[in-house]
Structures are given as structure tokens and as C-alpha cells.
Structure 1
Amino acid sequence: MQSDLSAARFSEKPPSSSALASRQRTRRSAFVGVSLIVFLAFLSTKLQGLRKTRFGGYPQQFLSSASTAVCPQVDALFPNRNADLWETTLQQTASSHFKARSIDLLAGAVQIPTESYDAMQPVGVDPRWDVFGEFHAYLARVFPLVHANLKLQKINTYGLWYEWTGLNSTLKPVLFTAHQDVVPVGPFTGGEWTHPPYSGYFDGHRVWGRGSADDKNGLIGILTAIETLLENGFTPTRTIVAAFGFDEEASGLEGAGELAKVLLGAYGQDGLAFIVDEGDGISKTFGTVVAYPCVAEKGYLDVVVEVTSPGGHSSVPPDHTASPGFALAFTVLTLVFADHRYSRRSPRPVRGQSVPRAARTLSRASVPFQTFQCLAQYGSTLPPAIKALIADSVNSDMALHTLEGILSKDKLYRSQIGTTQAVDVVSGGVKSNALPEEAHAVVNHRILAESSVSAVREHNVALLQPLAEKFNLSFNAFGVGVSQPGVPSSGNLTLRDLSDALEPAPVTPTNGEISAPYQVLSGSIKAAYNTRRAANNDNSTLIVAPSIMSGNTDTQFYWKLSPHIFRYGHGNSAGLGPEDILDGIHTVNESIDADDFVEIIRFYITLMLNADESSVL
């Protein structure tokens, strides 16, 4: 990799002068199922016999010398041309003064309750947006060099677009993004917080409050990195862009949705070298420290299932087959139990027609498959039988199927390897003595990258058409008449979208000549991590494994800007118990480790400098 990433120095260890005091930390990412670790340990004994009876033994070469092509790694990447500046920033960010200043910056941001809600009225109409003006004034005050040296445009009033113009306009810019808004604090949860949710309280170890981990740590981290580079006289060669939406927690249409339009106009399709947004971080998994940049993101589809039929007095009920409430109950049970994650079996074909595959199996082309290969290759405590099974799944369909079955035992891993569906809303009827004239359910789908919105819609149609026939209902699905009973129908079964559907995101390349941005990111992650472990004589090795984002970030609006999109937060939290494993994100007691936050800033500085001098982006 050294020759491919020229213009930068690679090394297993950072320069000795960059050693910084730290403690080793662990964080759970989307791929770290605590319950699965216990389960795999138990299962490994079973698989020892299975490998002999069903597979005739797994290839031992996978256990002794796994191919690096399965999970390619680059060395830590340190700035070369900007080496002196990088060393200076390392010393600066290691100081107690810098840490205290960074804590104050984040705490101040947390103290401004920039909450976004579902179904808010447009900017300028709904007064709940006004708090973002206060937040902007805060940013202008605490980041004076950023606001004096970068171009700032406000899009749709509260969207922030910063541009730090580089000296070489032929180089593609890089985009760092985060969101200003936070999820509201539940009105009845105030007493459950260790420290008030908008206090920004620092207890000597952690900063507490809504937004501290999602996502003001990213926003303040990016701006602090830029402010620090400006303080040291840096002028970028490659343009650096920062864009901050303000309603990510409520779909992102007003913020990133509008920002994307102007960014596309300014930089053009595929006009950015790469994009980094919030996402997974670092975790100790099977004895190995692993960083999980998300290079894919699931699609999204909400389907309304509606049943209607004539009502009446409950004292004279119709046959059950004519009751919309009864039909809906069967529909919901079918959705919940018959095929709830699309990856064990498909519904029975209707009238001899084939049913589309909606990511029914773990695919070798999928990002989760790459992740598991990395864990098998580098996970030091992964049970040998499981490691062999994962390795064998590269070529053996039977091993692949067995692996899928094992992963399906854990709900977290199960959600990663297939399209999921969840019945989230069910309603019907208005009075205990009146037959319901309408009943409906809302079903949420998270769509795997190998599937599509159309495949999931078709799957729903195939799954529910037998029910329409069973209950003698006319069936209309997504604006198309599917079936009409030969006799007068008892009612209607309708499927429709609740809101705009989202296709799965394009997958960012992680291998081959077109994967240079992923390599630069990986090397920068390792360099930032190494700066903390060196001073502690910590010999742990960080590996980088691509992963998939189950939720959706503001990057859903940025697909046209770059084929290289990373959802990564460099979180590396310390000693959290299972109940706090996600730093209280979207719930009570949201907080972040202060040393962790400083490392996040250092990561952004490292990546900005590496990208600035890279000749391969």
C-alpha cells in the first residue's frame, strides 16, 4: 500500500514525540452483539462435530495464514508534507488546556436545546426552529478564525455550508458533515438523568447532555479541528467543506435535503473526493480492536396496510371473514410471524408465480459478509470452529447457509444480514359496541443493500394476496389492482406507502484501485488511534472493517456528490456497561468521554492533513 498511497508516510507506530497518555477504550458498534459472543462460544463445541460430519473438515489454511485479500489492511497513515504541523497539533491537543477548552466548547453547544420534531412546519413558520439562530451565534463566537477565514452560506436559513478554499482548484474537495439538531428529551424522563439533559455538565470524566454523543460531538469536533489548523497557520491545498443540516432527526428534508441541492450545483456530480458523516466507531470485538466505518446504508420503506368493510352494531356481527378487524389481525400476524426478516424463506408463490428474493440469504457480495471475514481473520478470541466456518463460507454454499443460520440467532446480527420489517402502528375501530369500518397497520422495512424498494413491495404483495382471497377482499397494492373477487367483495385490502421510500445507498468501494479514499480513511483512523495507545505501552492492533448502517443519516441526500461516502464517528468509549453501550444516544443519560472527544478532534485533523497532501484521491 505504500506505493499506492505515495505522498504520505506509513508506519506501524507513530513518531515517538507524538505519544499521548490515554486509557484503552471499547465501544459497541452495529456489529458487536454481546449476546452473540456468549452464544458463539457455546456453539463452537457443536461445530467441531458439525465440521466433520457435514463439511468434511474446514480448510486449515484459513486458520493459519488467512489471505489478506479477504480483509485488506493499510498501515497507519501519517502526514508527510504536513508532518511538522501534525506533530505540533499532537502536542497541542495533548495539553490539559486544550482538553479543558474542548470540553467547554462541547458543553456550550449541548446547553442550547436544538430539538427537531416530526411534522414541523416550514422554517419561518414554526417558531421551534428559532433556537438554531441562537446556536449559530454561539458558533460564530467560539470559532472566530473559522468565521473569519472560511466562506459561510446559510441554506434555508439554518443549514450551514462552510468552504475553506484550497490553493489547487483541480483537486476534488472533501466534505465533513454533521447535524445541529438533537432528538427531544422525553417530558417525563427529566428525573432519570444523572445530570440535567441540557446542562453540558462535566464530571471530570464525561460531558453529559443531549447531543454530546449525537451529533454535536461531530460538529464541534470538525470546527475545532479547523480552528486548530487555522491557529497554526495552515492553508489547505485541497478545498475542505463542512455542511451541517438541522433536522436529521426528523428526516433531513429541510436541512441536508436543501444543502445537497446547492452543494451539487457548486461541486457537480461526483465532484467531491469523499464524504464523512456520523456513524459507527471503535469496539473491542473478539479480543481485537476494530474500527467500523459504514460504507453502506440500508433503504427504508413504510407500508400502510389498510382493511375496510361495512360496519354495524356489534350485537349482530358478521362472519369473521367479513370483519376488517379480524382480517387485519390475521394480516399483522402474517407479517410478524410468517417472514419477518426475509432471509429464512419466502412466502408461498401465488398461482404458480415466482416470488422475488428480498435478500433472503447472506450474500458474499454484501458488506456484512466483509465484516465477518475481517472478524474471522483478526478476531483473536473468536472460537476456532466459527472462524473456520466463516472462512469456508467464501467458497462453500453449505457453510454460507450455516453461517447465516448462526448469525440469525442474534437479533442485532440478524438485522444486519437481511431486510427487516417491524409492525410499529396498529389501529382500528372507534367504539366497543360498533363494528370497525376501517383498520390499519404501519409496517417499517429496513432494506438490505442487495435488495430494493420494488423487491420489498413485491414481497408484501405476494405475502398478503392469499389473505385477500381468504377474506374475500378486493386487493389494491401501491396504486395497482391486484385481485378482485368474482363475487361481491366483503371489503378492501390496500397497501400504500406512508412516505417517500428510500433505496439502499450505493456501496462505497473498499477494494481495488478505486478504493483510495477508503485506504486514506483507514490509515488516518489507525494513526489517530495510535496517538493514544503509544504512551500506555498498549500493544493492541487496530483493524478496520467495513460495515453497514442500519439507520439513515444525512448522507442519503449526498449520493450524487461522491461515490465514496463514509459514516464514521471515531467513537472509542471507555468501560461502558451494556446498559450504557451507546452512550445514551436517543435516550436518557447521553454523554461522551472527554478524552474520547479530544481523540475525535485529532482524528479530523489527521484526516484533513492526509487528504490535503494525497495524490490518489
Structure 2
Amino acid sequence: MPPPGQDPRWETMGLVHDYLAAEFPLINKTLSLAKVNTYGLIYEWTGTNSSLKPYILAAHQDVVPVNPETVSTWTHPPYSGFFDGESIWGRGASDDKASLTAIMLTLETLIQKDWTPERTIVLAFGFDEEASGIYGAKYLGKALEETYGRDAFAFIVDEGGGFKDVYETIFATPGVAEKGHADIKLEVTSPGGHSSVPPVHTTIGYLASLITEFEKNPYPVELARDTVPYDNLVCMAAHSRDIPRSLKRAIFRSGHSNAALHRFEKDFVLQDKFYSSLVGTTQAVDIISGGVKSNALPESAFAIINHRINTLSFVNETAARDTQTITSLAESLGLTLKAFGEDVIPESFYATSHCSSQSSSTSSSKGHIELSLAFNHELEPAPRTPTSGKESKPWDFLSGTIKATYYSHRAQGIKTETTATDGDNVDFDPRNVDGNTDTKYYWNLTRHIFRYNHKNAAYGSEIATGVHTVNENIPLDHYLEIIRFFTTLNNECR
């Protein structure tokens, strides 16, 4: 999609800005506002103590589109914001307008009560997070660094985890790391012609064989100590009240025995789709295209392979492994191979003794494979936010904020899905995030990035939230608790 100013579809973001100006007049009167690349928003509420580092509350204004074919299946119209007395329904109700409006409602209320911050508060709202943030957060990150400087912020809170029940224990799950990602384009070309005289393999046939080779060779899942996924498991073993004893023992034994670590990896991690996806680099063939007519041999076909990269790996390692995966097959099929700019199997390979049945003057390949980075949006794994030691003060503050929010919300006598009891406690399970938020453009601003907005998933929800699909909604009580979270955070961050 072309950038703002070159495509009229962006103009709907102007309506979002009009809404924010109308509904939050005190914010627009009290805070300074800078617009970045037309629709990115940076608000600043200047604190009274300039010696304290400011902090950022981030969210995104955009939502994923609604498939027109599904509109009739929604319980309430997808853009209505309908409130049925218990839940708010509509696209963005959970992702991510709940966070954005909770932040704005919190600050609007604090201004009404004549509250002023000691520490400067900065709001950063992107407008294309669902499309990788290339026009929104990417520009916001540069503008924030130019204005405030590198490592200028105490911490950043953006969309992400919430709290949930694990083995009868409530765990808050702030994201403190993110896997990297790379979209790899696998393209095959070969001579066309009439389909009445087909070769043994068409271009699409070659592509199918290559895709099968990828899926036969998934990335290894190797659990390593001192990683966020491993720390998740240790935390669960140490604090879950109802964890099976055998699982608890296996986790603790893995901490001091490599043999026990490998057994645990085999018996538990590899058997659990969720944990194995957190630990290893994943691959998924998500897009495929080829052919234009049923009686014409396709001259080209391609697939896009999405990778979420292990936090101990790199984009280059992923590219190298993909190349290695298909090199032998490419040779056996008689195809040349160019991978990320390098001729791995050049045409000259087939003009040598490798093709002994033909003279070198007539030998040639049957087609060509090219591996490349698909969209130039590849991303290395994110730096890990400190959660222990001398640099963990922001983590300690966030943990206290989460506990205070959880307990105070339940002390109000509000109907909730969870009720605090004498044995109820909130523990903390810092998480590795599979997806990437707008914070991927904010790494230079602080070492302390928390992907967390206090969404309630404890004991499950009776109504699915429908994020990115039909019937997206958020229960009112959950939304009120998010507001309470941001209120507590701002009140206590001094």
C-alpha cells in the first residue's frame, strides 16, 4: 500500500484523530501533540521533575480489516462498538482500541482531578501496526529518538500479554522479548509451452517438491537455559499450585543435568505445539502463486515462507538453513539455485562431468530457483528486557503495578471472573512474544520494553474475544480493569 498522501484509504485515520480531539478535549488542551508522517501521534504531558526519565505508553490506531463475506455472521455489526450490557463488540475492541482508549480515558480523568505527573508521560500511537508499522511506528521511533535522544526513556508499555490461570495459579505474562521474523520468497522458473506436451515436472510441480522438502525438515526445537521460554517453565514449576509432580520434577532436574534437559525437551516441549513454537524457529508456507491458464505451462511460480526466528538465532542463520534445506533436491531435479544473491548452483554446474550422460556443450539446467527476502521487513530477535539484577527496577515497578491493579479491582466488589482469596496470588511469568509489536522500532529508546496491557484471560472467558476474526469483543469488566491498570501505573510512577 502506498504511503500517506499517495493513497486515499489512509484518510480514514483523520476521522480517528477527529474522534480523539472531540472525546478527550482536556488532553488536547493540556498535552502537546506532534503528528508524524501525517497520522502518527506523539502526545507529551510534561512532568514537574525534569531529572526523571520519561516513559512511553504505546498503542496503535489501526485494526485488521473485516472480511466482507463474514459481516452477516457477526452478532453485532463489526464497526458499531455495540454495548450489550456486558461486552463491547466491534473490530478493534480488543486489538488495540481498548488499550488506546484506556490510556486516553485515564489521562483525561487525571486532568479532571487536577493531577499532574512528576515524570513526563509520552504517548506514541502508530497507525499501521497490523501492516508491520512501516509508515507509522517506524517514523515515530525515529522522531522520538531525534526529540528525546537514545536510551532516553525509563520504560515503554505497549500492547501484549495479560494475566491467566496456569495450574490454578494466576500468572501475569508481560512480553520481555520478541522472536525475529523473515518472509522468504521461494520462486521457481522454467520454460513454458502448451500443456498438451508437458515435461515430467512443471514449474508448479518443482515448487511443490521444494515446499514438501521444507515441511519434511522443520527447524530443530532445542530448549536452552537462560532463555525466556526456559525461564517460563521454571517459573511455572516454582509457583503453580496444581502442577503435576512429574512435570515439576522434570523441569527442576533439567536445570542441572543436560540429559534431563534433553529428556524434558523430548517428552514435553516437542509434544506441546505452543511451547515448541516459542522455543524454536518456525516456518509456515502462507502464500502461493503460479500459472495463468489451464492449457499453458506456467513459466513461474512462487511461495512465501514465514519464519518466526528463535531468540538465540539470526536472520542470516535462517537464510542459510533454508538454502541448505533445498540444495540437494535442487541438484537432483536439475535446477540452478541462487540464494540471497549468491549462485549456489550455477548454470555451469550442469555443463561439467556432473551430467555425464550428455556432452557438456548441450547440457543445461531444467529451470531455476531463487530464494530471497520477500518484503524487506525482516527483523532480528529483540533485545531482552532485564527482569533481575541491578537493571530490573522498571520490571519491579511493573510487577507491583500489576499486583496492585489485580487486587484493588477485586476489592471493589465488581463482578469478575476471578475472586481474590486468602490463597490467591499473582505470580509473574515474563514471556517471549511470537509476533512483533510496534516496539520493534523503539529498541534505541530504552532497554525496558514491556508488551503488556493487563487483559484478563484468567480461567478462560465464556465469550471468545474474536481477535482478528469474527465477533471481536471485550467484556466491560475487563476493559475497566485495563483502565485501572493504566491509572495505577501513572499514579505510582514517580
TM-score range, shorter chain: over 0.9
Any conservation in 2 of the 1:311–1:435 contact (CA below 8 Å)?
Answer: yes
Residue 297 of structure 1: how far off its partner (Å): 0.8
Per-residue CA shift, 1:368-393, capped at 9, x if unaligned?
Answer: 11111111111112110001111111
**Partner of 2:305 in structure 1?**
443
Alignment-mate amino acid for residue 429 of structure 1: G
**1:421 partnered with 2:280:** no
**Partner of 2:429 in structure 1?**
545
SS of 2:392's equivalent in the other structure is helix
2:448 counterpart (560, 564, 568): 564
SS of 2:83's equivalent in the other structure is coil
**1:149 partnered with 2:26:** no
Per-residue CA shift, 1:563-608, capped at 9, x if unaligned?
Answer: 1101001001476558x54x11101111111111111111111112
Any conservation in 2 of the 1:573–1:593 contact (CA below 8 Å)?
Answer: no
**Partner of 1:602 in structure 2?**
484
SS of 1:189's equivalent in the other structure is helix
Looking at structure 1, the residues matched to 90 and 204 of structure 2 have their Cα atoms a distance apart, in angstroms, of 44
Residue 429 of structure 1: how far off its partner (Å): 2.5
Looking at structure 1, the residues matched to 259 and 194 of structure 2 have their Cα atoms a distance apart, in angstroms, of 57
1:256 counterpart (113, 132, 137): 137
**1:491 partnered with 2:367:** yes
**Partner of 2:359 in structure 1?**
none
Looking at structure 1, the residues matched to 461 and 213 of structure 2 have their Cα atoms a distance apart, in angstroms, of 37
Any conservation in 1 of the 2:163–2:458 contact (CA below 8 Å)?
Answer: no
Residue 491 of structure 1: how far off its partner (Å): 1.6
**Partner of 1:390 in structure 2?**
251
**Partner of 1:177 in structure 2?**
58
Higher strand share: 2
**1:335 partnered with 2:214:** yes
Residue 427 of structure 1: how far off its partner (Å): 2.5
Aligned residues: 471
Aligned pairs for 1:95-114 within 5 A = none
Identity of aligned residues (%): 49
Any conservation in 2 of the 1:181–1:247 contact (CA below 8 Å)?
Answer: yes
Looking at structure 2, the residues matched to 386 and 455 of structure 1 have their Cα atoms a distance apart, in angstroms, of 33
1:280 counterpart (161, 166, 183): 161
**1:502 partnered with 2:384:** no
Task: Give ranges in structure 1 of 5+ residues lacking alignment.
Answer: 1-118, 344-359, 613-617
1:311 counterpart (192, 196, 204): 192
Any conservation in 1 of the 2:164–2:458 contact (CA below 8 Å)?
Answer: no
**Partner of 2:403 in structure 1?**
526
Structure 1 runs of 4+ off > 3 angstroms?
Answer: 534-537, 573-578
Residue 155 of structure 1: how far off its partner (Å): 1.1
Looking at structure 2, the residues matched to 434 and 449 of structure 1 have their Cα atoms a distance apart, in angstroms, of 44
Any conservation in 2 of the 1:574–1:593 contact (CA below 8 Å)?
Answer: no
TM-score, normalization: structure 1?
Answer: 0.74
Per-residue CA shift, 1:313-333, capped at 9, x if unaligned?
Answer: 33333344xx43332111000
Any conservation in 2 of the 1:296–1:505 contact (CA below 8 Å)?
Answer: yes
Residue 493 of structure 1: how far off its partner (Å): 1.2
Residue 136 of structure 1: how far off its partner (Å): 1.3
Residue 196 of structure 1: how far off its partner (Å): 1.1
Any conservation in 2 of the 1:573–1:592 contact (CA below 8 Å)?
Answer: no
Per-residue CA shift, 1:157-182, capped at 9, x if unaligned?
Answer: 21111001111212110000000111
Looking at structure 2, the residues matched to 575 and 588 of structure 1 have their Cα atoms a distance apart, in angstroms, of 22
Any conservation in 2 of the 1:573–1:596 contact (CA below 8 Å)?
Answer: no
Looking at structure 1, the residues matched to 390 and 317 of structure 2 have their Cα atoms a distance apart, in angstroms, of 32
**Partner of 2:360 in structure 1?**
none
Looking at structure 1, the residues matched to 199 and 454 of structure 2 have their Cα atoms a distance apart, in angstroms, of 60
Residue 411 of structure 1: how far off its partner (Å): 1.9
Residue 436 of structure 1: how far off its partner (Å): 2.3
Task: Give ranges in structure 2 of 5+ residues lacking alignment.
Answer: 352-363, 414-418
Q: CA RMSD in A?
A: 1.6
Looking at structure 2, the residues matched to 404 and 610 of structure 1 have their Cα atoms a distance apart, in angstroms, of 41
Alignment-mate amino acid for residue 546 of structure 1: P
**1:402 partnered with 2:279:** no
Looking at structure 2, the residues matched to 150 and 311 of structure 1 have their Cα atoms a distance apart, in angstroms, of 62
CA change 1:238–1:607 in 2 (3 A) is same
Any conservation in 2 of the 1:283–1:291 contact (CA below 8 Å)?
Answer: yes
Looking at structure 2, the residues matched to 573 and 290 of structure 1 have their Cα atoms a distance apart, in angstroms, of 10
Looking at structure 2, the residues matched to 265 and 434 of structure 1 have their Cα atoms a distance apart, in angstroms, of 55
Any conservation in 2 of the 1:215–1:278 contact (CA below 8 Å)?
Answer: yes
SS of 2:68's equivalent in the other structure is coil
Alignment-mate amino acid for residue 415 of structure 1: S
SS of 1:599's equivalent in the other structure is helix
1:132 counterpart (8, 13, 16): 13
Per-residue CA shift, 1:394-432, capped at 9, x if unaligned?
Answer: 111122222222222222222111110001122323333
**Partner of 1:584 in structure 2?**
466
